Amino acid sequence: MRGPNTPLAKLLVAYYGLIQTVHLVVLARAATLLLVNGSITFPAPPPPGGWTTQASHFLVGLGGVDAANAMAALAFVYGFFSRARWRYWLGTLTLSVAGCSALLFAYGTIASGAWAHNPVSYLSITLAFAPVAALTILFGTWISS
């Protein structure tokens, strides 16, 4: 695929919009559960012994960044399909933030032992976001050519 006007490109961008919409709903649910229960159990199931205070603060901060980025990503998806002049810089920004956030989330949750204790949950998250990784790689080829 050499450009953003192919059916696969449009499918990946539409999926990005869908996954970010779901991400916002999941983050809102997680915030509600945190306020009610006082602990993080969803969507990041804890390692044995639970999340440390420091890890909880880190996850809440990362969730805030993710929520802001998800809203910007939805603007990018709109701009992509409406062929707005700003779509490439916003796409670069939101995909970069999403990638960095995913790497930080993965590192922290793997290092804590949460993945080993909850492999199905974390594998599901990884599989759901895999098309976004593909979009990120392809997007880089679109804007560099």
Eight-class DSSP state of 3: S
Give pLDDT tens digits for 87-145.
999 999 999 999 999 999 999 999 999 999 999 999 999 999 999 999 999 998 887 76
User: What pTM value is reported for the model?
Assistant: 0.92
Domain regions of the chain by residue span? 7-144
**Which residues, 6 or more positions from 6, have their beta carbon under 8 angstroms from its beta carbon?**
none
Q: Could you tell me the pLDDT band of residue 5, with boundaries at 50, 70 and 90?
A: confident
Give pLDDT tens digits for 15-66.
999 999 999 999 999 999 999 999 898 899 999 999 999 999 999 999 999 9
- What whole-number distance in Å separates Cα of residue 131 and Cα of residue 57? 28
DSSP assignment of 29-87 equals HHHHHHHHHSS--SSSPPPTT---HHHHHHHHHHHHHHHHHHHHHHHHHHHHHTT-TTH
DSSP assignment of 77-129 equals HHHHHTT-TTHHHHHHHHHHHHHHHHHHHHHHHHHTTHHHH-HHHHHHHHHHH
Judge whether residue 1 has pLDDT over 70: no
Can you give the pLDDT at residue 140? 86
Can you give the pLDDT at residue 122? 96
**Considering only CA atoms, which of 136, 76, 71 is closest in space to residue 103?**
136
